[in-house]
Amino acid sequence: MSDTTVMDKLVSLTKRRGYIFQSSEIYGGAGSVWDYGPLGAELKRNVKDLWWSRMVHQREDIEGLDAAILMHPKVWEASGHVEGFTDPLVECTNCHRRFRADLEGVEAGQCPVCGTKDAFTEPRNFNLMFRTFMGPVEDAGAQVYLRPETAQGIYVNFLNVQGTARQKVPFGIAQIGKAFRNEITPGNFIFRTREFEQAEMQYFVKPGTDEEWFEFWKADRMEWHRSLGIREENLRFHEHGPDELAHYAKKAFDIEYRFPFGWKEFEGIHNRTDFDLARHQEYSGKRLEYIDPGGGERFIPYVVETSLGVDRVLLVLLADAYREEEVEGEERVVLALHPRLAPVKAAVFPLVKKEGLPEMARKLQEGLRRASIPSFYDESGSIGRRYRRQDEAGTPWCVTVDGQSAEDGSVTIRDRDTLEQIRVAMDQVAPWIRERLVDSE
Ligand code: ATP
């Protein structure tokens, strides 16, 4: 299977099964913006819930935050984004398309769209922040930005959170939210888009302990990705060399995944030093120091950041879970998503549409609904077709009500990955699933 085929197949499967749709499709689509359908919305929510649970609920030293997208414009001057958040841009003088100057192919002087050679303009810096206006007057004084990262909302609230939650350094603040970047060359499905979501955590530490904490978070984040079932051989670290380091970073590692289009970053671990807090202190004129309750020592903490792209990790999970297999002489496509991530946990089928089986199956599904287990009822088509639909959607368990169910109250549960079938009492299906979801945590 060629790499483009895998991506094409993923795009069409995710559309067919209601994971991801192109934004404003009926108008021909909006450039590189995507909408999550019923299954995609569940998958995204599951990823965010697992991240939040690991980062916030399971730790004493991390607090949650939900800061606004629009912020005071000075924030972006202090952060360096007004001045430095740019990509070099070139334009092809033949077809007038614009590209990132560092894009493969463009670097060599050939236009990836029309193929013309050496027809690019000189590179010009292009700011990636989206601009808009606050209030009715559209002048420079009313200009604001859509945040290009969620981190700044955390820095400006550092003392609010520390004081109200009574945290002591070291401690962290976690946030999930939308970010916007006017990318010059978006693409590769949901890999690089102009509107996306980030799950970021800023960990505030005493200067001098930052390197230790950097190592801790680097290992912890990689371990989390493994726990989601992402295959080891498709994960690796990439350390930023001096020419790759962002203006704020002392050290940075990317966690990379082997996408069908090559090894690429989907999470960054950054040692941002005291750059951001010191700059906000300077630009706002407000002290952003931490006072140690022990000795009264004052200092501006260093920050270790973990920055995950939610949409990008979704692409990682979908690409990693996509399998084409042969089962009993027939081909099947399966999304082997971790059960905790799977949008639908169980599909419920009556074997045939008669003998009261649909009624029993619906009753069973009603029980799953009451237990808050996302489920799906399907009575159309052969049982084989119904299994295949669920395999493609990533549903880990299919529960079938058959003739024996009427006699002894048992049903079969078929496992998506092993294809094993076992019989379980109907009233035990919900606890059986619950148990497996907890065990797989
Ligand atoms: P890239 O080099 O791919 O542009 P970056 O180094 O600018 O990424 P960061 O600023 O470190 O990325 O952002 C942290 C995370 O946010 C990335 O690892 C990625 O998962 C996500 N992210 C950044 N830009 C985008 C985008 N345009 N679309 C989707 N996710 C993004």
**Tens of pLDDT, residues 51-99:** 999 999 999 999 999 999 999 999 999 999 998 888 888 888 888 788 8
pLDDT score of 302 more than 60? yes
Ligand 1 pocket list (CB less than 6 A): 181, 183, 192-193, 196, 198, 265-268, 307, 309, 311-312
Nearest CA to ligand 1 atom 11: 268
Domain 3-71+139-318 matches domain 344-439 at the CATH topology level:
no
Question: In the structure encoding, which two tokens stand for residue 194, read together?
Answer: 């102009």
Q: How high is the pLDDT of residue 440?
A: 62
Compute the half-sphere exposure of residue 363: CA atoms within 13 Å on the CB side of its CA.
12
Which has more pLDDT, 412 or 89? 412
Q: Which ligand 1 atom is nearest residue 265's CA? A: 18
Pick the CATH number of 344-439 from 2.40.100.20, 3.40.50.800, 3.30.70.360, 3.40.50.11720: 3.40.50.800
Beta strand residue intervals within 66-180, DSSP E: 86-91, 98-100, 124-127, 130-133, 143-146, 171-180
pLDDT at 155: 98
Ligand 1 atom at shortest distance from the alpha carbon of 191:
29
Q: How far is the CA of 13 from the centre of ligand 1 (A)?
A: 25
Ligand 1 centroid, distance to 198 Cα (angstroms):
9
pLDDT tens per residue across span 195-237: 999 999 999 999 999 999 999 999 999 999 999 999 999 999 9
Q: How confident is the model at residue 243 (pLDDT cuts 50, 70, 90)?
A: confident
Q: Which CATH architecture has domain 3-71+139-318?
A: 2-Layer Sandwich (3.30)
pLDDT, tens digit, 9 for 90 and up, residues 108-130: 899 988 899 988 988 888 889 99
The CA 196 to ligand 1 mean position distance, Å, reads 9
- The ligand 1 atom nearest the CA atom of 254: 18
As a whole number of Å, the CA-based R_g of the chain is 25
Give the whole-number percent of the chain exceeding pLDDT 90.
Answer: 80
- For residues 281-310, average pLDDT: 95
**Over 90: is that where the pLDDT of 363 sits?**
yes
Distance 123 CA to ligand 1 centre (A): 22
pLDDT of the residue at 325? 93
Choose the residue to mutate in 32, 192, 200, 230 for probing ligand 1, maximizing ligand atoms within 8 Å of C-beta: 192
Q: What pTM, to 2 d.p., does this model score? A: 0.93
- Atom 3 of ligand 1 has which residue's CA nearest to it? 265
Task: Locate the DSSP E strands across 57-207.
Answer: 62-65, 86-91, 98-100, 124-127, 130-133, 143-146, 171-180, 195-205
Confidence at residue 262, expressed as pLDDT on a 0 to 100 scale: 95
| Domain assignments of the chain as residue spans, ordered by start | 3-71+139-318, 344-439
